Amino acid sequence: MKVLFVCKSNVGRSQIAEAFFNKFSKNYKAISAGVDANVHAGRQIKELSQKTPQCMLKEKIDISKKFSKQLTSELINQSDLVVWIAPEEKIPKYLDKHKLVLWKIKDAGGTSYQNHCEVRDKLKKLVLGLVKELDNS
C-alpha cells in the first residue's frame, strides 16, 4: 500500500506526516505533495520552511534535504490512500473519494517554532493511529 499525504505547499504538514509514516510503518510506504507546492505566502519556494526540519530533529528524523513536490494526477493514481491536509476546496474532482481521508490540521507556516512543534505532535498521533489501523486491516 502506498499512502499520499497532501497539504497546501508541501513544506510542512505533509512532509512531517510522510516522515512519521515511513518511520513507523514497516509494511507500507508514504510520499507527499502539495496542491500549490511551488508557492508559499505568495513567493516561489522549493525547500522546506526552516522550522519544519528543526522540529523534526527533536524526533530524531532528518528531513532537511527534502523539497516540495507538486501534486499530480499521476501521484494520486499511484496511491492507495490519500490523506488530505490541504483546504477541502482544493480537492481535485478526479480524486476517487473512496481512497480519501481528511485531516484538519492548521498550517503552521509563518508562525512560531512552538506552533510547528504542536502541528508535528498532532500529526504524529494521527499517523500512529493510521499505521495501527492499516496494520490491523
| 16 pLDDT higher than 70 | yes
Looking at residue 66, the DSSP 8-state letter turns out to be -
d(CA 87, CA 65): 26
- Stronger pLDDT, 132 or 108, i.e. the higher one: 132
Task: Supply the angle between the helices 113-135 and 13-24 in degrees, to the nearest 10.
Answer: 40
Q: What is the pLDDT of residues 25-80, one digit of tens each?
A: 999 999 999 998 765 555 555 567 788 999 999 999 999 888 889 999 999 999 99
Residues contacting 103, CB < 8 A, separation 6+: 83, 84, 85, 123, 126
Residues contacting 15, CB < 8 A, separation 6+: 32, 48, 52, 63, 66
C-alpha cell at 78: 499511484
Question: What is the CATH classification number for the domain harbouring 68?
Answer: 3.40.50.2300
| 86 pLDDT higher than 60 | yes
Confidence of residue 95 (pLDDT cuts 50, 70, 90): confident
Number of domains observed in the structure of the chain: 1
Average pLDDT, the chain: 90
Enter the pTM of the model: 0.92
Centre a 10 Å sphere on the Cβ of residue 69 and count the other Cβ atoms it contains.
17
Domain hosting residue 53, numbered range = 2-135
